[in-house]
Amino acid sequence: MADEVILLDFWPSPFGMRLRIALAEKGIKYEYREEDLRNKSPLLLKMNPVHKKIPVLIHNGNPICESLVALQYIDEVWNHEAPLLPSDPYQRAQARFWADFIDKKIYDLGRKIWTEKGEEKEAAKKEFIGALKLLEEQLGDKAYFGGDNLGFVDVALIPFYTWFKGYAAFGNVDIDAECPKFIAWAKKCMQKESVSKSVPDQDKVYEFIVEIRKKLGIE
């Protein structure tokens, strides 16, 4: 019997994009189901009763929640192709550390950039750029964080690039000028079909941010 793989997702979610990219890298066919987050499906509530959040990967009826956990699951189950984590334990630990760093910093700081004002916005911008610079250092001279191929950190990080037009516009920050090496890496990732076909373009996400800002009553 063929594997049944379903992804409960929401199109602008960087966390959902991670799983789309990983599944594309591995060449796994799956059914994509868009969720309405203001009217969550009974399936989502059943499959992720603890957090009630997307993305949820459902593999032969078994739910896997939390995107980094699901990324590792995908890497372990479909290990014949496009390994995401390296085999060396220390390199694996490093990859997990930086993916965790991305989870702790990039999403929250990015959100503050387009929702906060004044000092809080400025502090978030400064910390955001600082975080990108740390990631640039970590990238070094490699093509990807994973080396010659997309790895765990690349897949965890590249989805946020789709939000950069919004960060730049509402944060009034020139990320291209501040972090050229990061941008070069992102553009290289976007040239891969597994990435470009799995994520929305920046304009569409920008329009989404405009909508959310309206709903939140932010001028």
Residues engaged in binding a second copy (CB under 8 A): 50, 59, 62, 64-66, 68-70, 72-73, 76-77, 89-90, 92-93, 96-97, 100-101, 134
Closer residue to a second copy (CB): 66 or 116: 66
Q: What does the block give as tokens for 125?
A: 């911008």
* Closest approach of a second copy to the CB of residue 207, in Å: 31
Helices vs strands, H then E, count in the chain: 11, 4
CB of 161 to a second copy, least distance (A): 21
- For the bound state, the minimum distance from the C-beta of residue 181 to a second copy, rounded and expressed in Å, comes to 18
Q: Output the smallest distance, CB 15 to a second copy, in A.
A: 13
CA–CA dist 72, 99 (Å, integer): 11
Q: Which residue type sits at 142?
A: K
Spatial separation of the C-alpha atoms in residues 188 and 136, rounded to whole Å? 14
Q: Are 168 and 174 in contact (CB under 8 A)?
A: yes
Complex with a second copy: residue 78 or 114, whichever CB lies closer: 78
Shortest spacing between CB 133 and a second copy, in angstroms: 12
Do 106 and 171 touch, CB atoms closer than 8 A?
Answer: no
Do residues 85 and 152 touch, judged by C-beta distance below 8 A?
yes
What the block records as the tokens of 94 is: 């490093």
Min dist. Cβ of residue 96 to a second copy (A): 5
- Assess contact for 107 and 127: CB atoms under 8 A: no
- Nearest CB to a second copy, comparing residues 97 and 203: 97
H-only helix segments in 116-174: 118-139, 152-157, 164-171
Count the Cβ atoms, other than its own, within 10 Å of residue 18. Answer: 28
| CB of 136 or CB of 207, closer to a second copy | 136
Phi, psi for 116 (deg, rounded to 5): -90, 170
Residue 86 or residue 200: which is nearer to a second copy going by CB? 86
**Nearer Cβ to a second copy (66/154):** 66
